[in-house]
Structures are given as structure tokens and as C-alpha cells.
Amino acid sequence: MQTLKGHRKRVTSVSFKPDGLALASGSDDKTINLWDVSKRELLRTLQTQAPYQYVWAVAFSPDGSTLAAGNWDYTIAFWDVSSRQVSRTLRTDGYTRSLSFSPDGRTLASGGGDNTIILWDVSSGDAVRTLRGHDSVVLSVAFSPDGQTLASGAEDHTAKLWEVGSGKVLKTLEGHTDWVGSVGFSPDGRRLALGSNGISLWDLPQGQRSRTLEGHSDRVNAVAFSPDGRTLASGSNDNTIRLWDTTTWKAYRTLRGHTGAVNSVAFSPDGRTLASGSDDKTVKLWDVSNLR
């Protein structure tokens, strides 16, 4: 495990560039740090300008040319990765808590403080559709691998599955007693993991709960499947990350080292490295290639 230091406040979100060479981290200190993954060092700090522009979500486009950042000041910034300048700014009606690019890179989904999800045309910057149905802040959004379904999790203790083409709710996933802070599709699109008071697994497309994973001692803020689908990673307010075997659904390793809540986890494209961002102001890179 290696610790990347540079942020002055909590790290809210981490995202690998699709080529795996760089990692972006967003923070309440109003910056985005770009890290060289192989050298484990800071490449550049992208400094936001607005006085309340806390960065709560970062996501690379599938081609790696754009980094989207969701901010507290009701904007989403598109950073050109090559020039490291803002190329476009999208205006929202609430702060942005989560971002997800569609697999083809043509659409960006954002969820946030106005209880809605907005689907944006990436090329034009226009809002194509607003999805309404949650009763509270939308904390997480994720596209299915085929791009036809969007999952969302919210402070209203529910998750929803949306048909992207029509914007209709396909299913509301209920039964949680806390915020649904993270949603993640398996690589084959057959399962959805939700992070809440525990981890719930849902079979798709039926949207039926199949299993609950228990082990964390506090709320689960982040879930992510490995690219090969063999591992599910979860980050929690209990300051730990757990790695779950997706065949047995047993936790085969607990990663300790953060001294604050783990807010975000992301696998590298090759699945060998796991990145995590925490309230302790650090990003950690974990070698998960030989932990089984």
C-alpha cells in the first residue's frame, strides 16, 4: 500500500484514467489532483476558482480526453486532460454528488442536491433529460455496461433503475435503513451492488435482492467491481476496505490504513491496483493482484 498526500481536506472521489496511467482525486479543498500511477507522484493540481467549489465527484470519459468534476457551486466542469484547462462548464440546479459517463462516452449522468439526475449530451453540453423520482439527494449514479440502464442511489434509502432511452423508472430497490451511497454494476451487467447500512446485491434485469453482505461496522460509502468481476471492493465509515469474492461472497481481505471514512474506491483498468479516497485527506493505492 502506498499513500499519496497532497490534499488539505477530505478526498471525496477517485477515478482512474482509462489507460491506467493516471488517477484523479477530488477534494473539499477545491482541487483535483492528477497522480502518476506508476511513479506514485503528483502530476498536476487543477485549481478551481469559485469560493465554494468543493469537488465532490470526478470521472474520466471513456476515451480519457475529458475529466468531469461535479462541484458544490452548482456546476460541472469539463477539464481537457491534455491542456488541463476547463473546456466547458455545465450549470445545474443543485450541487453534484456523483457523475458517470455512458460506455460510449456520448452521455454524462449527474446526480445531486436537487434530488434529480440529469443526462447531458457530452458533445453539446445540453441537458437531454431530467430524471425525477427520488425524494432526497442523489448520492450515486452508474451506467450499466451496455449503456441502456442507469442505476441511482439516494438519501431517501432507495435505489432506482432507469431506462436511459425513455427516462422511465424500471424498478425501485427498497428495504434499506440508511442512505444508498454507492451503486455499481458487475462487468457482465447481471448484478448490481448497493452500499448502504450494509451491501445488498441485486439480480438483473429482474431487480430482485439476492444477498446481503455484512461485515463493515458502519455505513458503506463506496462499492466497485473489479474488471474481471471476481472481486467486489467496499469502502466504509469504519475506515476500512473489504474485498469480497464474488463466487462465495465471503470477504477474503480487509484493507486497513486509512484513519478516516473511506469515501470512494476504484479499480485500475487492469484490476491490479485499487485506489481509495478518505476523510483523512489521503489517497491510497493498494496492490490487490496477489491477495487471494
User: Pick from 188, 206, 224: which residue ends a domain?
Assistant: 206
User: Pick from 186, 206, 226: which residue ends a domain?
Assistant: 206
**Stretch 113-142: mean pLDDT, rounded?**
97
Residues 188, 53 share a domain: yes
pLDDT(266) > 80: yes
- Whichever domain contains 180, its CATH number is 2.130.10.10
* Residue 160: all three cell numbers together: 432506482
Residues 54, 133 share a domain: yes
* Residue 80: all three cell numbers together: 481537457
Residue 22's nearest CA partner among 55, 64, 79 is 64
Residue 255's nearest CA partner among 221, 216, 281 is 216
d(CA 84, CA 94): 25
Split into its structural domains, the chain has a count of 2
Q: Any idea of the CA torsion for 26, 215, 291, 33, to the nearest 10 degrees?
A: 0
From edge to edge, which strands make up the β-sheet containing 251-255? Answer: 220-225, 231-236, 241-245, 251-255
Please indicate, yes or no, whether the overall pTM of this predicted structure exceeds 0.85: yes
**Stretch 9-31: mean pLDDT, rounded?**
97
**Stretch 207-230: mean pLDDT, rounded?**
96
pLDDT(52) > 70: no
Look up the domain containing 240 and give its range: 215-292
pLDDT(71) > 90: no
pLDDT(166) > 80: yes
Q: What is the mean pLDDT of the chain?
A: 96
d(CA 273, CA 281): 19
Residues 176-211: tens digit of each pLDDT: 999 999 999 999 999 999 999 999 999 998 899 999
pLDDT at position 51 is 59
Q: Is the dihedral of CA 36, 38, 40, 41 positive or negative?
A: negative
Residues 194, 275 share a domain: no
pLDDT interval class at 50 (50, 70, 90):
low
How many CB atoms lie under 10 A from the CB of residue 41? 10
d(CA 115, CA 124): 24
Residues 126, 220 share a domain: no
pLDDT at position 47 is 84
Residues 228, 190 share a domain: no
**Stretch 46-68: mean pLDDT, rounded?**
88
**Stretch 277-289: mean pLDDT, rounded?**
98
**Stretch 213-219: mean pLDDT, rounded?**
95
Residues 52, 176 share a domain: yes
- Whichever domain contains 269, its CATH number is 2.40.10
Residues 34, 166 share a domain: yes
| % of the chain beyond a pLDDT of 70 | 99
User: Pick from 175, 206, 237: which residue ends a domain?
Assistant: 206
pLDDT interval class at 63 (50, 70, 90):
very high
Which of 21-25, 52-56, 219-223, 233-237 comes out lowest in average pLDDT? 52-56
